[in-house]
Chains A and B, each alone.
Chain A
Amino acid sequence: MHPATSVILFTTLSGVGFGFLAWLGVDPSPPTGLGAFWAFTLAFGLAVGGLIASTFHLGHPERAWRAFSQWRSSWLSREAICAVAALLVMAVYAAALIFAGRHLPLAGWIGAALSLLTVFTTSMIYGQLKTIPRWNTPLTSALFLSYALTGGALLSGRITAAVMLLVITALLQFTWWRRGDSALAESGSTLGTATRLSDRGTVRSVAHPHSSPNYLMREFIHVIGRKHAQKLRIIALLLTAALPILILVFIPAPTVALALAALIHLAGVATARWLFFAEAEHTVGLYYGLR
Chain B
Amino acid sequence: MTQLPQSTERKLGLVIDLDTCVGCHACVIACKGWNTENYGAPLSDQRPYGDEPMGTFLNRVHSYEVQPEGGAAQTVHFPKSCLHCEDAPCVTVCPTGASYKRVEDGIVLVNESHCIGCGLCAWACPYGAREMDQAEGVMKKCTLCVDRIYNDTLPEEDRVPACVRTCPAGARHFGDFADPESNVSRLSAERGGMDLMPELGTAPVNKYLPPRPKDSWDEDSVLAPFLEPVVSDAGGFLGWLDKQLSRLPGDTHREER
Contacts and interface: CB of A to CB of B under 8 A. Distances in A.
CB–CB under 8 A between A and B in the complex?
A: yes
Interface of A: 1, 57-61, 63-64, 66-67, 69-70, 72-77, 80, 125, 128-132, 187-189, 191, 193-197, 200-210, 212-216, 218-220, 282-284, 287-288
Contacts of B28: 209
B116 A283 contact: no
Interface stretch (B89-97, B148-156, B173-181): B89-97
B123 A203 contact: no
B177 to A, nearest CB: 17
A189 B116 contact: no
Contacts of A131: 89, 123-126, 200
Contact of B92 (A1, A69, A73, A196): A73
Contacts of A215: 54, 56, 131-132, 134
11 contacts: A66-B96, A76-B93, A188-B199, A195-B196, A201-B74, A204-B64, A209-B61, A212-B51, A216-B128, A219-B123, A283-B197
Interface in B175-219: 194-201, 208, 210-211, 213
Contacts of A216: 122, 128, 131
Q: Is the interface of B mostly helix, strand, loop or mixed?
A: loop
A48 B54 CA distance: 34
Interface residues of B, number: 72
Contacts, number: 200
A72 B195 CA distance: 28
B64 A195 contact: yes
A70 B94 contact: yes
A59 B115 contact: yes
Contact of B94 (A1, A74, A209, A213): A74
A200 B68 contact: yes
B225 to A, nearest CB: 25
B116 A200 contact: no
B66 A60 contact: no
B132 A284 contact: no
Contacts of B89: 129-131
A200 B69 CA distance: 8
A203 B18 CA distance: 14
Contacts of A58: 116-118, 137
Given A58-B118, A201-B68, 19 more contacts: A59-B117, A69-B96, A73-B4, A73-B92, A75-B93, A128-B124, A131-B123, A189-B126, A193-B198, A194-B126, A197-B64, A200-B68, A202-B66, A203-B65, A208-B63, A209-B62, A212-B51, A212-B53, A220-B128
A285 B185 CA distance: 30
Given A203-B65, A204-B65, A214-B131, A64 B116 contact: yes
Contact of A61 (B73, B116, B123): B116
A203 B64 contact: yes
B180 to A, nearest CB: 22
A59 B112 CA distance: 11
B98 interface: yes
Contact of B128 (A74, A188, A284): A284
B63 A130 contact: no
B42 to A, nearest CB: 15
B136 interface: yes
Given A197-B66, A200-B68, A208-B62, A219 B197 contact: no
